[in-house]
Amino acid sequence: MRPGLLLAFLAAVALASAPVEVADRYTMDQRIA
């Protein structure tokens, strides 16, 4: 596995998990309110 490919994979994972984290935080705020 090439280092560039690994970096691209990690970037894709970070991009995919970012909206999930934001949505999770939003639903938690809704639950508290």
Q: What are the per-10-residue average pLDDT scores of the chain (33 residues)? A: 90 92 89 76
d(CA 32, CA 25): 11
Residue 14 burial class via C-beta count within 10 angstroms: exposed 0-12, middle 13-18, buried 19 and up? exposed
What's the distance, Cα to Cα, between the start and end of the chain in Å?
47
pLDDT of residue 24: 92
pLDDT of residue 5: 95
pLDDT of residue 32: 76
d(CA 1, CA 5): 7
pLDDT of residue 1: 62
Give phi and psi for 25, each to the nearest 5. Answer: -65, -35
